Amino acid sequence: KQEVTQIPAALSVPEGENLVLNCSFTDSAIYNLQWFRQDPGKGLTSLLLIQSSQREQTSGRLNASLDKSSGRSTLYIAASQPGDSATYLCAVRVGRGSTLGRLYFGRGTQLTVWP
Amino acid sequence: EAGVTQSPTHLIKTRGQQATLRCSPISGHTSVYWYQQALGLGLQFLLWYDEGEERNRGNFPPRFSGRQFPNYSSELNVNALELEDSALYLCASSLTGNTDTQYFGPGTRLTVL
């Protein structure tokens, strides 16, 4: 069964810092990996999706990398801002048999960026 | 372009009642997914519908059921509500059911008293 772990569980940093959030997964046979952002009590906003054949994706100040063989992904946030404060979730998609269609989520990293 | 919409925003029920939650996918998307986010448990996969058919379900009892309509909107029904069903229920849609990005709605907060 696929298990997704995110480290750290919480992170509090001053504005302007560059951040690295970590995600690891146990089954390397994934279709893709997605990073989401969730504000308190809200739905999920998709940030980046990396297909299994890709090594990284970039969007603005965000860069996500994928090392499928070692079961790891990192989300890099450059020049953090208070508006980046949210919970960041990592999810992987495995496409075999009973796991078809579903995303497996980590518990998230709760990020606080203070001015 | 409108995103995934869900209704109602909040739902309060008592134990033993039934709850119905609704989801409208992004226009052109044929796959709809349901997830439960209970406090302290993280996001758990519930159901996946594609082209009107149930394609997969997670580890939930049969009192969690749903359907997808011809216009690809979906309904999640929870019968015989229990206190532990209190959670944020999130719906997502994707263009197809394979490897496409899943886009999430704002969720329905279900509270069971």
One DSSP character per residue, A39-81 reads -TTS-EEEEEEEETT-SEEEETTEEEEEETTTTEEEEEE-S--
Q: What does the pLDDT read at residue A49?
A: 92
Cis peptide before A8 (omega within 30 of 0): yes
- Residue A4 and residue B44 in contact, taking contact as beta carbons nearer than 8 Å: no
B22 CB near a chain A CB, below 8 Å? no
| pLDDT tens digit at each of 115 positions of chain A | 789 999 999 999 999 999 999 999 998 888 899 999 999 888 899 999 999 999 999 999 999 999 999 999 999 999 999 999 999 999 998 866 666 778 999 999 999 999 9
What whole-number distance in Å separates Cα of residue A76 and Cα of residue A62?
6
Q: What per-residue confidence (pLDDT) applies to B41?
A: 82
Q: Cis (ω within 30 of 0) for the bond into B61? A: no
What one-letter code names the amino acid at A56? E
pLDDT in tens, B48-62: 999 999 988 999 999
Contact yes or no for B50 and A103 at CB 8 A: no
Q: What percent of chain B has pLDDT over 90?
A: 84
Residue B12: pLDDT band with limits 50, 70, 90: very high
Q: Which residues of chain B lie closer than 8 angstroms to A101, CB-CB?
A: 31, 33, 45, 48, 50, 55-56, 97
Q: What's the burial of A27, exposed, middle or buried (CB within 10 Å: 0-12/13-18/19+)?
A: middle
How confident is the model at residue A1, as a pLDDT?
A: 79
